[in-house]
Amino acid sequence: MAEHTTATTRVSVLGAGNWGTTVAHLIGQNGIPVTLWGRNEESCAEINEQRRNSRYLKGLELSEHITATTELAKAVEEAELLFLVIPSQAFRSVCADLGDLVRPNQLAVHATKGLELGTGRRMTEIIRAETCLRQIGVLSGPNIAREMCAGKPAGTVVASRFPRVIEVSREVLKSHQLRVYGNTDVVGVELGGTLKNIIAIAAGMATQMELGENAKSLLITRGLSEIARLGVALGADPMTFSGLAGIGDLMVTCASPLSRNHRVGAALARGMSLKEAVDSLGMVAEGVKAAKIAEQLTGELGLRAPLMHAVYRVLYDGLTPAEGLRELMTGAVQEDIDPSLTRAAATKKR
């Protein structure tokens, strides 16, 4: 591949929802031409002609450097760097379509915060299984799309085993508005972004139930402990969860009413059914499926995860949020710092 400079890197973003559109906008704001692939003709025309994506980012103006298209081949063929921003349950089918279109020398970074239902696979595993792309990574962190598209400052993480993937992604994304940190722990960054969504659903319930800030802090801290315990059991570096893609992302999604997962939790605590809550949202809330996957994984691995289990029971087992809270407050109390995490951190240090 030719030597990259920011201005010459050819970038495409696949997925034109909240986050895909925002990622394209952030790159376009740097003066870099960027192709955005979406399925919806009308939405692509609106982006190209009016610089808006009113379904997902109402009232915000998009960069003039974005060209939206519904033709996947066109979006992929010229790109040196691809961002895949497709909801986790549709991710494999898009990767399968990419199979014949991509080349091994292209760089690919996904920004999806979920696991595949049924297989528990991470998105980097799906990219590897379905395509010839090998120089891959993940973009994750405390990144509420609407805030970032509106120009507010933020930090994010690109994780990859390939320094070039981190470097080129940072070059196209970084700006006075966005700090881009690197990490080599792909598993930890993928799992931090995925599992925090389950805890954010609980936080939405806590907000709606007016449980107060102490309860929110308890939730975030014990939630982080569960995320790290499951993450480490699946191969993550425990230290990753103290970074932006761990505690950073958990904090914003638990605090912000803009978080869709948070909103689903609040809707459930208002008495809506899960179907009503998801339908009224009209966007993806990855924690709904992630709770199911985490329930299965923690069961198989014999791990304690009472918070995630309570969210699962509220979503799928008919437990009310109030009953879930009662169960959590009366369950067995463990060590403040999980000894298995202390051991894992010490092993990594050696």
Ligand X SMILES: O=P(O)(O)OC[C@H](O)CO
Ligand Y SMILES: NC(=O)c1ccc[n+]([C@@H]2O[C@H](COP(=O)([O-])OP(=O)(O)OC[C@H]3O[C@@H](n4cnc5c(N)ncnc54)[C@H](O)[C@@H]3O)[C@@H](O)[C@H]2O)c1
Q: Which is nearer to ligand Y, 19 or 312 (CB)?
A: 19
Geometric angle at alpha carbon 111, from 313 and 172, rounded to 5°: 160
Place of tokens 């933020």: 154
Q: Does 85 bind ligand Y (CB under 6 A)?
A: yes
Any binding-site annotation on 54? Answer: no
Provide the b/e sequence for 302-329 (b: ≥16 CB within 10 Å): ebbbbbbbbbbbbbeeebebeebbeebe
Let me know if 155 is exposed, middle or buried by CB neighbors in 10 A (0-12, 13-18, 19+).
middle
Strand partners, 140: 157
Least Cβ distance, residue 174 to ligand X (angstroms) = 18
Going by C-alpha positions, the residue among 109, 88, 134 that lies closest to residue 12 is 109
36: enclosing H helix or E strand = strand 34-37
Q: Are the beta carbons of 76 and 98 closer than 8 angstroms?
A: yes
The entry of ligand X, ligand Y, none that residue 240 binds, CB within 5 to 8 Å by partner kind:
none
C-alpha 343: how far from chain center: 28
The span from the CA of 23 to the CA of 21, in Å, is 6
Q: Any known ligand binding at 284? A: yes
Which of the choices ligand X, ligand Y, none does residue 25 contact, using the CB cut-off of 5 to 8 A by kind? none
Task: Output 69 or 143, the one with its CB closest to ligand Y.
Answer: 143
Q: Is 292 a catalytic residue?
A: no
> Is position 196 annotated in a ligand binding site?
yes
Q: Is 141 annotated among the ligand-binding residues?
A: yes
82 contact choice in ligand X, ligand Y, none (CB below 5 to 8 Å, kind-dependent) = none
Neighbours of 333 (CB within 10 A): 6
Closer to ligand X at the Cβ: 37 or 56?
56
Residue among 58, 74, 196, 349 flagged as catalytic: 196
H-helix or E-strand spanning residue 140: strand 135-140
Closest to ligand Y by CB, 90 or 337: 90
Q: Minimal distance in Å, beta carbon 22 to ligand X?
A: 10
In this structure, the strands spanning 11-14 and 154-160 are unpaired
Name which of ligand X, ligand Y, none residue 298 binds, using a CB cut-off of 5 to 8 Å depending on partner kind: none
Distance, in Å, from the CA atom of 183 to the CA atom of 311, rounded to the nearest integer, reads: 30
- By beta carbon distance, the residue nearest ligand Y is 17
Window of 75-83, 110-118, 129-137, 233-241 that interacts with ligand Y by CB under 6 A: 110-118
Q: Does the annotation list 120 as a binding residue?
A: no
Which chain residues interact with ligand X by CB under 6 A? Answer: 113, 142-144, 197, 200, 249, 252-253, 259-262, 286
Number of residues that bind ligand Y (CB under 6 A): 26
Q: Which of residues 274-293 bind ligand Y (CB under 6 A)?
A: 283-284, 286
The answer to whether 145 is a known ligand-binding residue is yes
Q: Compute CA 289 distance to the chain's CA centroid, rounded to the nearest angstrom.
A: 13
User: Is 18 annotated for ligand binding?
Assistant: yes
Binding residues for ligand Y (CB under 6 A): 15-20, 38-39, 56, 85-88, 90, 93-94, 111-114, 143-145, 283-284, 286
Binding site residues for NADPH, as ranges?
Answer: 19, 39, 56, 113, 145, 260, 284, 286
Task: Catalogue the active-site residues.
Answer: 196
